[in-house]
């Protein structure tokens, strides 16, 4: 599987992402908190506020840098009335509970000085009821200059009266999220102007919310041209939960959020509902499905604000989460951790997966955090783990062991996943497909143990229960 990133940003394939839900990460400026803010760490609900803000992120950039993060993906930060900000009121204003333009500019300066990219969430399919154009329609009906901005079925519009059917198109029928009429030229130009403005302010790309519901590929082509004309290395990633192929032809998105990969990882690592053989087949199929330049730019996540926490799905088993993170951090594409996963946050689906980050370190799972830091550091240190060709070597249901290689002209890395309750001792792994010379020595970058190639096998392997190994060798380097 060769890697050619001819039309996707080069930096993405080297990146480690961190997703932040701003209201729940850190409160660095209490004076900005909503009047009804709840104590930090209160149980999350659909409507409560905890007071997180952009200053809180700035205050903890050293933590993120030590974690190995090189890119932050923010959930929406524009003016809105909800804690999640997906009901946008003003696309050109930072929500005052989070900060203002000067605070965002400070965040960008601080992140960029640390070589950390910043990606914002673009909610362009729908807006909030308080958006000025929709409000004008409520006031003026068919005489509003914005009447055609929305899909109005009848007048008057009933945005708040739950006793009446909603008579305008909205996202999933939710009245508070009226859907834009993307076919109306002024709407297209407005959304493009939003995308243009924030790229010009210095953000490094867009995560596009439900872009499949804007059923116009020509619009996304126009969006890409606009973004790339300003910054050719800007990242455009779409929230597509299934097959992203229609948007990944080189003219629209660079990549999608890799929920398909996440689902495979949940089944194999968290739930144990499939074995190594099925896992390997599905991984190989996924690798074959997209062009290599797409695979190398995919946003590879284990969870998000829209899913239960991975640790919850794994019934609190840290070993399962560590194995899953080891896999995605050595797999092609950009691994993305959801805030707090690295210290053991748990939670069922929305809103419970959106709890506050506990800055009291006594609440952290330090063993997990150390492991995430270590594997992230390995990804940064060894280029083959980022850009090497990928090859499945072994997938055995009887032992539930999965192994794959990342290879380039200079080195070979073999990642061994033991997703079983029995340790591997004195084990041998068939690697004849790699055509490596006898005597070549590999070092496990996690444990320090060594193994040697002999007769097309890597011998004397030791891997603990529900654990993994990252075996590394330089080509042509003789054993000591």
Tokens of 302: 């284990």
Whichever domain contains 92, its CATH number is: 3.20.20.80
User: How many alpha carbons lie under 13 Å from residue 207 in its C-beta half-sphere?
Assistant: 25
The average confidence (pLDDT) of the chain is: 97
pTM: 0.97
Q: Which of 173, 206, 239 is the last residue of a domain?
A: 173
**Shared domain check, 395 and 359:** no
> Which has the minimum average pLDDT: 22-26, 157-161, 301-305?
157-161
Q: Which of 330, 361, 381 is the last residue of a domain?
A: 381
- Is 70 exceeded by the pLDDT of residue 412? yes
**Shared domain check, 344 and 239:** yes
- Is 50 exceeded by the pLDDT of residue 3? no
Could you tell me if residue 450 is inside a domain? yes
Mean pLDDT (whole number) for 305-316: 99
Catalytic option among 209, 254, 293, 444: 209
- Is 70 exceeded by the pLDDT of residue 477? no
| Residue 209 bears catalytic tag | yes
Query: Please, are residues 269 and 324 in contact by the beta-carbon 8 Å criterion?
Result: yes
**Shared domain check, 144 and 36:** no
Tokens of 86: 């997906």
Residue 479's pLDDT band, with cuts at 50, 70 and 90, is: low
Could you tell me if residue 325 is inside a domain? yes
Domains identified in the chain, total number? 3
**Shared domain check, 325 and 275:** yes
How far apart (Å, rounded) are the C-alpha atoms in residues 375 and 368?
Answer: 11
Query: pLDDT per residue over 126-140, tens digit each?
Result: 999 999 999 999 999
Residue 6's pLDDT band, with cuts at 50, 70 and 90, is: low
How far apart (Å, rounded) are the C-alpha atoms in residues 319 and 219?
Answer: 44
Sign of CA dihedral 453, 332, 357, 114: positive
**Shared domain check, 236 and 107:** yes
Query: pLDDT per residue over 181-231, tens digit each?
Result: 999 999 999 999 999 999 999 999 999 999 999 999 999 999 999 999 999
Mean pLDDT (whole number) for 310-325: 99
Query: Please, are residues 206 and 237 in contact by the beta-carbon 8 Å criterion?
Result: yes
Phi-psi bin for 250: left (phi > 0), alpha (psi -120 to 50), beta?
Answer: left
Mean pLDDT (whole number) for 14-28: 99
Query: Please, are residues 268 and 419 in contact by the beta-carbon 8 Å criterion?
Result: yes
Could you tell me if residue 2 is inside a domain? no
How far apart (Å, rounded) are the C-alpha atoms in residues 432 and 160?
Answer: 67
**Shared domain check, 367 and 264:** yes
The percent of residues in the chain predicted with pLDDT above 70, rounded, is 98
**Shared domain check, 392 and 328:** no
The percent of residues in the chain predicted with pLDDT above 90, rounded, is 96
How far apart (Å, rounded) are the C-alpha atoms in residues 131 and 125?
Answer: 13
pLDDT of residue 164: 86
Report which of residues 7 and 466 the model is more confident about. 466
**Shared domain check, 401 and 270:** no
Q: Which of 363, 381, 399 is the last residue of a domain?
A: 381
Could you tell me if residue 431 is inside a domain? yes
Residues 224, 227, 232, 236: what is their CA dihedral angle, to the nearest 10 degrees? -60
Mean pLDDT (whole number) for 445-474: 97
Could you tell me if residue 398 is inside a domain? yes
- Is 70 exceeded by the pLDDT of residue 456? yes
Query: pLDDT per residue over 363-400, tens digit each?
Result: 999 999 999 999 999 999 999 999 999 999 999 999 99
User: How many alpha carbons lie under 13 Å from residue 138 in its C-beta half-sphere?
Assistant: 13
How far apart (Å, rounded) are the C-alpha atoms in residues 413 and 41?
Answer: 41
Could you tell me if residue 480 is inside a domain? no
Query: Please, are residues 306 and 23 in contact by the beta-carbon 8 Å criterion?
Result: no
| Residue 229 bears catalytic tag | no
Could you tell me if residue 96 is inside a domain? yes
Could you tell me if residue 479 is inside a domain? no
**Shared domain check, 349 and 470:** no
Residue 1's pLDDT band, with cuts at 50, 70 and 90, is: very low
**Shared domain check, 265 and 225:** yes
Please count the other Cβ atoms lying within 10 Å of the Cβ belonging to residue 432: 11
**Shared domain check, 161 and 105:** no
How far apart (Å, rounded) are the C-alpha atoms in residues 204 and 120?
Answer: 8
Catalytic option among 95, 204, 222, 239: 239
Whichever domain contains 404, its CATH number is: 2.60.40.1180
**Shared domain check, 289 and 377:** yes
User: Which residue has 């601080």 as its token pair?
Assistant: 110
- Identify whether 412 is preceded by a cis peptide bond (ω within 30 of 0): no
How far apart (Å, rounded) are the C-alpha atoms in residues 182 and 218?
Answer: 11
Q: Which domain holds residue 449?
A: 388-474
């Amino acid at each position: 599987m060769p890697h050619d990133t001819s039309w996707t940003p080069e930096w993405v394939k080297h990146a480690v992402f961190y997703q932040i839900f701003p209201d729940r990460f850190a409160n660095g400026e209490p004076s900005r908190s909503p009047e009804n803010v709840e104590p930090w760490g209160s149980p999350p609900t659909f409507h409560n506020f905890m007071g997180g803000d952009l200053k809180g992120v700035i205050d903890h950039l050293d933590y993120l840098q030590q974690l190995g993060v090189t890119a932050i993906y923010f959930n929406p930060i524009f003016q809105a009335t909800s804690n999640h900000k997906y009901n946008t009121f003003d696309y050109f204003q930072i929500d005052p509970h989070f900060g203002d333009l000067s605070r965002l500019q400070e965040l960008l300066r601080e992140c960029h000085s640390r070589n950390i990219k910043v990606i914002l969430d673009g909610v362009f399919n729908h807006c909030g009821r308080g958006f000025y154009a929709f409000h004008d329609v409520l006031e003026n009906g068919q005489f509003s200059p914005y009447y055609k901005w929305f899909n109005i079925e009848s007048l008057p519009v009933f945005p708040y009266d739950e006793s009446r059917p909603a008579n305008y198109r909205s996202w999933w029928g939710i009245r508070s999220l009226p859907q834009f009429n993307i076919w109306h030229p002024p709407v297209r130009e407005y959304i493009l102007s939003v995308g243009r403005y924030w790229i010009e302010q210095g953000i490094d790309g867009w995560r596009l919310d439900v872009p499949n519901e804007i059923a116009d590929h020509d619009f996304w082509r126009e969006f890409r041209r606009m973004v790339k004309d300003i910054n050719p290395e800007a990242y455009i990633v779409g929230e597509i939960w299934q097959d992203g192929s229609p948007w990944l032809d080189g003219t629209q998105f660079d990549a999608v959020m890799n929920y398909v990969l996440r689902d495979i990882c949940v089944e194999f690592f968290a739930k144990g509902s499939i074995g190594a053989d099925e896992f390997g087949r599905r991984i190989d199929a996924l690798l074959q499905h997209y062009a290599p330049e797409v695979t190398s730019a995919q946003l590879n996540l284990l969870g998000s604000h829209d899913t239960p926490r991975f640790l919850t799905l794994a019934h609190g088993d840290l070993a399962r989460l560590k194995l899953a993170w080891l896999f995605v951090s050595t797999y092609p594409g950009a691994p993305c951790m959801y805030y707090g996963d690295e210290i053991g946050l748990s939670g069922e689906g929305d809103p419970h997966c959106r709890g506050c980050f506990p800055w009291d370190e006594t609440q952290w799972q330090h063993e997990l955090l150390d492991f995430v830091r270590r594997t992230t550091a390995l990804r940064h240190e060894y280029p083959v783990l980022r850009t090497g060709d990928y090859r499945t070597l072994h997938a055995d249901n009887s032992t539930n062991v999965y192994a794959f290689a990342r290879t380039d002209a200079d080195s070979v890395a073999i990642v061994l996943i033991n997703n079983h309750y029995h340790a591997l001792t004195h084990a041998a792994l068939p690697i004849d497909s790699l055509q490596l010379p006898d005597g070549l020595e590999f070092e496990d970058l996690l444990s320090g143990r060594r193994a040697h190639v002999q007769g097309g096998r890597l011998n004397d392997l030791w891997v603990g229960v529900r654990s993994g190994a990252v075996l590394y060798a330089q080509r042509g380097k003789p054993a000591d």
